[in-house]
Amino acid sequence: MKVGIATDHDGFGLEEEFVIRLRNVGHDLTDFGAHSLNPGDDYPDFIVPVADTVVAGGVERAVSICGNGIGEYVCANWSKPA
């Protein structure tokens, strides 16, 4: 399955573990970042692109990770087809 994954600094450590596990079970994974731990990053920079990719059909599912999930929920549900 094609899966996208995205996080901000709050979920960075957990995202690394998810990437390993998803690849180990055979998923075709696209990592939208964050690609380094940066306490100043902002979740919409990563969540909007992964959500837009789901809407456009580029991945079948997505996983987003952050501190509490509320902002990511809003961003992911705001995405619209291009």
Which structural domain range is residue 32 located in? 2-78
Tell me which amino acid residue 52 is.
Answer: D
Q: For residue range 19-76, what is the model confidence (pLDDT) as tens digits?
A: 999 999 999 999 998 888 888 888 888 889 999 999 999 999 999 888 777 878 888 8
Task: Output the pLDDT for position 79.
Answer: 65
Task: Output the pLDDT for position 23.
Answer: 94
Task: Output the pLDDT for position 9.
Answer: 86
Q: How many domains does the chain have?
A: 1
**What CATH number corresponds to the domain at position 11?**
3.40.1400.10
